[in-house]
Structure 1
Amino acid sequence: MARTVTLGPQPISTTVLPDRYRSIFKFSAFNDMQSICFSTLYQNDINTVISSPTGSGKTVLFELAMLRTLVSKALGNFKIIYIAPTKSLCYERYQDWCARLAVLGMKCGFLTGDTSAEEVATVKQADVIITTPEKWDSTTRRWTDYDLLMTLVKLVLIDEVHILKDLRGATLEVVVSRMKYIAPHARFIALSATIPNAEDIAEWLGQNWNSRSMPAQLYTFGEEFRPVQLDIHVYGYPARTANTFQLDKLYDGKLPDILDAHFAQKPIIIFCPTRKSTVSTAKILAKTWMKSREAILACRMDPGRHFQDYELDELSKSGVAYHHAGLSLPDRVMVERMFLGRKILIICCTSTLSINLPAHLVVIRGTSAWIDGQVQEYTEFDMHQMMGRAGRPQFDTSGVAVIMTTRDKQSKYEQILCGQEVVESCLHNHLVEHLNAEVCLKTINDIESAKGWLRSTFLYVRMKKNPSHYDIGITGPSKTIEDSLDQLCTENIARLQISKIVETSDRNELVSTVYGRSMALFYIQFQTMLNFMNAGAGMSISDILTMLGKSSEFKNFRFKQGEKKFYKEINAGVGIRYPLKPVDIKDFEAKVSLIIQFTLGRMEFPVYDGSGKHVTQFHADKAIVWQHVQRLIRCIIDCKIQSIDGVSVRNALELARSLQAEIWDNSANGLLQIDGVGPATLRKFLNSNIQTFADLASMDTLGIESVLSLNKGRGMKYLQDVEKIPRFAVTMKTLGETRDTSSVKIAVQVAVKMLNKNVVKMYNRKLLTVGFLVELSNGELVEFRRAM
């Protein structure tokens, strides 16, 4: 059912839709691509794969499929899942669809890794759930908790499905394969940039639940279907080194020639690899290239100051600005607004730039960037997202995208951008973790079901066609793909069994152990899980910090140029509880430990000549650390509960509380958790011997106002805020004891009482849980319970 389409048919008018449905579209007729797909998406229920150029109007295709679901199902009787690679793309869809689908009575919910408990509740009421592959993987790993929700899923929309070949592609692949299992009657619509093997994705999805052996309907559209033609150029330069500093100088030197060649007196966006390079490139262009174009800028800038950032304010007067996540939100918004208003001609930015911001010329200044703590090449998805800003239909009649790279990579990017790079699977690189997750879900219970599950994946489709790519031991003419499939499953299941993550039950079925369930629930990498399971008993907080830092999740963390001195200064600070030996500040585990300790100690950054340039990168690295440590510490707690290691559990719980609050437990800084309490206010409280939440809660408003020198009535806010923080008292009494020749048994009754006037069910937008631990004097764990 594959179809390579050429231009021809008459565009379909939106009047073919009922008035109610037509109102969500801001145009009177569908474009050629949308018209060709109309009958398949709106008048049928088969799975569909569409490969089309960026900017050709693919979002409307999703909306037609959504309308088809609304025609056949009553509101409240279905769920639509939209999966996109990034939170920014999800948020763009959420904002757009919330506004436009409201007229149909459809509610949207936004589910990402940052989603709070209230948002989860909102999502349960939503008709359209917008999420990333990682968050939907996490949710569906507990799908038995959401059984009713999963039975309501009738449509799964997969945006940018070609990311299957990127690092995050394995998660998307597993999620879609799982949805085919737990929501077998759901319809799948997958959209992709131009790729040469879209038929493989169609084969993987299948036609529908009743005809999995038949491929999905496939449409492949060429560049002629792009409403605004995009002229793409890839320039490769000879590079003597891979040093990022030298490459920055090379690209900055070539940039004026590129702008001269493609400048059309229209807006320009230049994507730079780091925050620092956005500033340096903007300065170079303001001093050189823009000076020769003063006539263009004569009436652009309004007089007066516009930005909080002084350097940005000065540069903007030349019609140039920079934009990155380290700028304040008002400055970022102002840059975007002035760019749209043609007050600024050039933005030098990182990939955090608003997706909707259009330009005539987009320049990608280098194909590598600082991502997740290391230098990485942009993915194809990243490249298409950046180039997608050029020549947007509602803003321009043409667009130009320029990619600057090294000569050895030029042909690679020419292939990618012409849609000639085959999409391969990445699942084999992470198979052991995903097999464990499926054993937990009981999708897999023996080797045969493991092979059956693997046959449902995109990996299997590509293994049959390109076995040499996967390096899975296919050798000799007699070895078949099924032999390799058997070997792949057997070896990885054996690794899980040897590690005691998976075991065989009395019924001879594969089942997850406590360790396997924790590994799946908290999304832990295999090697990290082995480290946690094999850690020694009686771990101190310092030991736990070291183990956290050694997790595989941080293995790509690196010290940037000049950062070691910065972190050595942090290590010498008085707020570091567990200082490292200076000689050890060289690897990623040291960086992770110092980021955590600096944050929990509420320390101030070192001040020396050049230290300021490392602060923004520290915040970016801290965000990455905090993405992982909450899950990692909870997994450590579970592992140590299983090994009856009371000392380690107690210390891990204390560290977990500290990480949650971003402040050391039982520290003098604890009151900083209250809104409005800064360093000066804290000093006043401590000078008056007010050190804990209980101390503050016991005061009256007059006492607080006296301590803080506040006007009458202003102290009430502090009492109201401290009342929102849960406080507990624990009491215990002995009910009796029995003795024999070898032991003493004591029965006790423990009561945990909340001291707040009103019951606190949530704290920091999360459901409140209470942990109860009983430990013997020798460190053995007697009891541990969690309560909501």
Structure 2
Amino acid sequence: MALAEVLADFDLSDFADAFAFESFNRMQREALPGLLGSNENVVASAPTASGKTALAELAICRALADGGTALFVAPLRALTNEKEADWERFEELGYSVYVVTGERDLNPRRARRADILVMTPEKTDSATRKHDSRRYDFITDIDVCVIDEVHLLDSDRRGSVLEVTISRLRRLCDPRVVALSATMPNIDDVAAWLDAPAETTFEFGDEYRPVDLHADVRTYTHGENSFADKYRRLYRALDLAEPHIDDGGQALVFVSSRQDTVQAAKKARDEIAERDLDMGARGEYDYHTDTQQLENDTLRKSALDGVGFHHAGLSKNDKDLVEEWFRQGQIQLLFSTSTLAWGVNLPARCVVIRDTKYHDPLEGEVDMSPLDVLQMLGRAGRPGYDDVGYGWIVCDRADADRYRELLRDGKEIESQLAEDLDAHLNAEIAMGTIRDLDDVMDWLETTFYYQRAQSAPSKYGFENLRERVRETLSELVEAGFVETDELGVDPTPLGRLASKYYLRLDTAERFHDLATADQQDVDAVLEAVATAEEFDSVNARQSERDAISAVLSGKTYTDEVDAGQRKVLAILHSSMTGSTPADLTSDAWVIRQNSVRLVSALGAFCRRFADPQTANLVRRVEARLDHGVSEGAVGLTAVDGIGSGRASKLAAEGVTTPGEVIAAGVDGLIAAGLSEGVAERVVESAGELPAIEIEWGSFPDSIPQGQNEMCEVTVRTVAGNAAVGVRVTVNGIEMTTDETYLSDELAVPVGVFGGDESPLEYAVEVTFPELPLLPVRDSRSVDVT
């Protein structure tokens, strides 16, 4: 029966054009009554490439037909962008699709008006935490939530986020939940957690795979040199792929990193030439011409030999061309990172997982997730072309039995909440969704953790689960994150900040200690970040140690800093001047991005628990990390239109503050090397920032001993407005301090006292707790006569 006729039976005939095919397959037809004929929650597991995406689209159509809003939770940020492009079909039907991710500026108005929202678990978590703000209130107006790849519950780092986010969303607005997954043995646990009845819980086995899968393990002999091991595994992968390529098929080889896709493709081209494999299309004029469209030179050369590589760092143009040519058979051997397994439907007759481990900048060498392994193998077999697909895992002999067991029994989905129970419980209390001990237990029962513990009581210690949660609550109280009394449970300022900035609780305590310490400086700020628990698994490789020592030579840090933390510290110090050594660049970007987030959080701690001077110090460190500029140029980064390059250029010309930008004017900035259009925008932006003047008035030059006089110093801004801290010191000792929002001018009382010391150095300092501007300081000397 045609797709349009089937949809007509459910009053959805208007949505026929939302689908990219003409008829539903067997799996989709069996799920239709549960998806479209009821309002129950749905859980469906099915093999990779069996058509689960259509189930998501059907659930969305049902919600749209009823006038509702759909939320699609995608496992990766790259997939949110893919859905935006793919779902132009919905846009053509008059429904708006809006992607909300951390890399885009949120437009709350567009989010509120969207018919389909596409978000990652992390962004959904953030939105639900801030649901009572005007910016994120759209998240409480969801009618159906589609969770793509719900088996990510088992992911070490992301599983607990997905779990608590869905539990929270259900408490906030109780949407219909449609959870889709690859094949999983314990689908009933997920169904019980989401309250999906038996009639809308679908477990589609391997018989629903469009192409049978033959999957197995092949081993190699592990050597002393990891670099040589990569090539041993590469040759093993080529041995497995060669007969399929020779027979006119294609092979997809998964490797651990973007760089490895390029290096493996280069080496494979040489090896293919040695083996005299009939590959490539150098003689085909049209294809040769088409490859000139590629922006990556290395990829262009590889593609002519029938070898390609694919990773998230390629331009969209290059990724699209590689995918098209692989589908057409022009590229017969493709090297990719695991992202391709979760995203683009790009099957191959043969799939080889060359690398089962990968280097994570924050975790060191880690095993590929079993979920990733199964997802990658699921790409084997081309519907309509192959009767069987072949998938191979290449691993060390010591790991072979573990992977054979995975292929034989699959992977049960476990809850990862226990690993972060304290942070997630604190977050719920900080949001006000938990107000007493009864609420704590009610919340626990909404989690997959609780459901899984019921199914596997000995594994999870179900009998002691409630006691464990009570102990966790007591630990939060003892550490100062939570307060309890006879009326209930309340968050403290520390608990709120830890939740708002997604900090591990040990890190939040460390930041609180620094903010309340007697003295802080740049070295202390960087050490607090480098030793944060978020970086506790960073490793310093032998090849990096000389570069680390060179950067840290002469720097101050405590004896407790270990080798991995020293590496983070070296990256932070060098990032502040834009001079990261080449030996540290492979991990520097990820570490720097995480550091900027942590320093921003530390700044919030200092604004709450310290003084404006400390908050300003941290804000300047954040800006230097973000832009890689000197201390003298950091204030310029507050000006819209001035990045690291322009800041350094202007600082070299003696222009270092927004006030000096205004004073230089458009002509002065042009003389400093800026174009006229940029100079005009920069001057206008600088005018929106404060330019401070300190006027001493009739301040005395001297005062008789034993006498005193009250004076008034005026602090004013002659440009933009800002929150400021004003501090008055005499001979370096603080006399008064004030925090205010300066929009015009402020009268600052200063007492001049004729004591025993002479002369007296009076200083007025204005700092900016929320801006990376250098403090403005002026002083007067008073003789005691």
2:280–2:307: 8 Å Cα contact kept in structure 1? no
Deviation (angstroms), 1:367: 0.9
In 1: Cα distance, 2:4 partner to 2:58 partner: 15
The residue aligned with 1:318 is 305
| More moved, 692-701 vs 279-288 | 692-701
Give structure 2 stretches of 5+ with no counterpart.
698-707, 742-768, 772-785
Q: Which residue of 1 aligns with 2:473?
A: 493
2:3 aligned with 1:47, yes or no? Answer: no
- For residue 609 of structure 2, what is the amino acid of its counterpart? S
Matched, 1:37 2:63: no
Q: Are the counterparts in 2 of residues 160 and 190 from structure 1 also a CA contact under 8 Å?
A: yes
The CA distance in 1 between the partners of 2:19 and 2:217, in whole Å, is 36
Equivalent of residue 139 in structure 1, options 105, 109, 127: 127
1:203 lines up with 2:203 in the alignment? no
* 1:468-507 mapped onto 2 (5 Å cutoff): 468-470=458-460, 472=461, 481=462, 483-505=463-485
Residue pair 2:624, 2:634 contacting (<8 A) in 1 also: no
Unaligned 5+ segments in structure 1 are: 1-7, 208-213, 473-480, 573-577, 736-742, 756-768
Cα shift at 1:117: 3.8
Q: Distance in 2 between matches of 1:672 and 1:650?
A: 13
Q: Match of 2:249, SS?
A: coil
Counterpart Cα distance in 2 of 1:727 and 1:632: 25
Shift of 1:445: 1.9
Q: Tell me how far 1:238 sits from its aligned partner.
A: 5.2
- Aligned pairs (5 A) from 1:270-349: 270-293=253-276, 295-297=278-280, 299=283, 302=288, 312-324=299-311, 335-336=322-323, 338-340=325-327, 342-349=329-336
- Does structure 2 conserve the Cα–Cα contact (< 8 Å) formed by 1:564 and 1:586? no
SS in 1 for 2:239: helix
Q: Which amino acid aligns with 2:575?
A: T
Are the aligned partners of 1:112 and 1:132 in contact in 2 as well (CA < 8 Å)? yes
Aligned pair in 2 of structure 1 residues 282, 51: CA closer, same or farther (>3 Å)?
same
C-alpha displacement of 1:196: 0.9
> What letter matches 2:356 in structure 1?
T
Q: CA RMSD in A?
A: 3.9
Whole-angstrom CA distance in 2 between matches of 1:696 and 1:395: 65
Instruction: Report the count of equivalent residues.
Output: 716
8 Å CA contact 2:635, 2:657 repeated in 1: no
Tell me what 1:636 maps to.
602
1:72-112 CA distances to partner (integer Å, 9 max, x unpaired)?
23xxxx33221122112222222212x01113322122122
Deviation at 1:720, TM superposition (A): 2.3
SS in 1 for 2:691: strand
Aligned with 1:130: secondary structure? Answer: strand
The whole-number CA distance in structure 2 between the counterparts of 1:336 and 1:722 is: 46
Corresponding residue SS for 2:619: helix
Structure with bigger RCO (C-alpha 8 Å, 6+ apart) = 1
Q: How many Å separate the matches in 2 of 1:306 and 1:583?
A: 54
Between the aligned partners of 2:141 and 2:653, the Cα distance in structure 1 is: 58
1:761 maps to none
The structure 1 residue matched to 2:592, chosen from 621, 625, 639, is: 625
The CA distance in 2 between the partners of 1:744 and 1:526, in whole Å, is 50
**Alignment match, 1:593:** 569
> Does 2:53 match 1:63?
no
Map 1:284-433; keep pairs closer than 5 Å: 284-293=267-276, 295-297=278-280, 299=283, 302=288, 312-324=299-311, 335-336=322-323, 338-340=325-327, 342-353=329-340, 355-373=344-362, 374-393=364-383, 399-418=389-408, 420-433=410-423
Answer yes or no: is the 8 Å Cα contact 1:200–1:462 preserved in 2.
yes
Q: Summarize the Cα distance change of 1:182–1:308 in structure 2 as closer, same or farther, 3 Å threshold.
A: closer
Which residue is 1:127 aligned to? 115
Whether the 8 Å contact between 1:585 and 1:591 is mirrored in structure 2 is no
Q: CA deviation at 1:515?
A: 0.2
* Counterparts of 1:663 and 1:724, CA distance in 2: 19
**Partner in structure 2 of residue 509 of structure 1:** 488
Q: CA deviation at 1:531?
A: 1.4
Q: Which amino acid aligns with 1:128?
A: I
What residue is the counterpart of 2:535 in the other structure? 554
Percent of aligned pairs with the same amino acid: 26
- Code of the residue aligned with 1:141 in structure 2: it is R
Aligned 8 A contact 1:165 1:423 in 2: yes
Q: What SS class does the counterpart of residue 233 from structure 1 fall into?
A: strand
1:542 aligns with 2:523: yes
Letter matched to residue 116 of structure 1: D
CA, structure 1 residues 153+781, in 2 after alignment: closer, same or farther (shift >3 Å)?
farther
> What is the alpha-carbon distance in structure 2 between the residues aligned to residue 594 and residue 124 of structure 1?
44
SS in 1 for 2:216: strand
1:177 maps to 167
Q: Which amino acid aligns with 1:656?
A: E
SS at match of 1:558: coil
Residues 1:250 and 2:202 aligned together = no
> How far is the alpha carbon of 1:544 from its aligned partner?
0.5
Closer, same or farther: CA 238–96 of 1 in aligned 2, 3 Å: same
Q: Tell me, what secondary structure is at the counterpart of 1:289?
A: helix
Q: Is 1:717 the counterpart of 2:703 in the alignment?
A: no
Kindly indicate whether the alpha-carbon contact (under 8 Å) linking 1:496 and 1:502 is maintained by their aligned counterparts in 2.
Answer: yes
Partner of 2:749: none
CA separation in 1, counterparts of 2:564 and 2:355? Answer: 25
In structure 1, C-alpha distance between the alignment counterparts of 2:399 and 2:452, rounded to whole Å: 25
> What amino acid sits opposite 1:345 in the alignment?
Q
Contact 1:81–1:157, Cα closer than 8 Å, also in 2: yes
8 Å Cα contact 2:629-2:647 kept in structure 1: no
Q: Once the two structures are superposed, what CA deviation does each residue of 1:661-711 show, in whole Å capped at 9, x if it has no partner?
A: 4534542894798769886x7787566544444444445655555554x9x
* TM-score scaled by length of structure 1: 0.81
After TM superposition, the score normalised by the length of structure 2 is: 0.81
Out of 438, 443, 447, the residue aligned to residue 453 of structure 1 is 443
SS of the residue 1:302 aligns to: helix
Which position in structure 1 is the counterpart of 2:504? 525
Give the C-alpha shift of residue 14 in structure 1. 4.8
Task: Give per-residue Cα distances to partners, 1:321-363, cap 9 Å, x unaligned.
Answer: 4444566676656555554554433232333557344433221
Which amino acid letter does the alignment assign opposite residue 202 of structure 2?
Y
Could you tell me which amino acid in structure 2 is paired with residue 486 of structure 1?
A: R
**Alpha-carbon distance between aligned partners in 2 of 1:106 and 1:334, rounded to the nearest angstrom:** 29
Q: Quick check: 2:73–2:148 contact (8 Å CA) kept in 1?
A: yes
Answer yes or no: is the 8 Å Cα contact 1:658–1:664 preserved in 2.
Answer: yes
User: Does the residue aligned with 1:651 lie in a helix, a strand or coil?
Assistant: helix
Amino acid at match of 2:414: E
Structure 1, 554-563 or 681-690: larger mean CA deviation: 681-690
Distance 1:782 1:416, change over 3 A: farther
Aligned partner letter, 1:283: K
Post-superposition shift, 1:58?
A: 0.5
Change beyond 3 A, Cα 1:276–1:716: closer
**2:99 aligned residue:** 110
Instruction: Report the residue type matching 1:597 in the other structure.
Output: H
1:107–1:128 Cα contact (<8 Å) kept: yes
Could you tell which deviates more after superposition, 495-504 or 583-592? 583-592
Asked if the contact 2:264/2:335 (under 8 Å) is kept, the reply is yes
Give the residue type in structure 2 aligned to 1:602. Answer: G
Of the structure 1 ranges 79-88 and 656-665, higher mean CA displacement relative to structure 2 is found in 656-665
Letter in 2 for 1:247: D
Give the aligned residue type for 1:133: P
Instruction: Classify 1:229/1:599 alpha carbon distance in 2 versus 1 (closer, same or farther; 3 Å).
Output: same
Task: Indicate the residue corresponding to 2:14 in structure 1.
Answer: 20
Q: Could you say what secondary structure the match of 1:296 adopts?
A: coil
* 2:739 partner amino acid: E
> 1:773: Cα distance to partner?
2.8
Distance apart, 1:597 and its partner CA: 2.9
Q: Does 1:166 align with 2:155?
A: yes
User: Larger Cα Rg: Structure 1 or Structure 2?
Assistant: 2
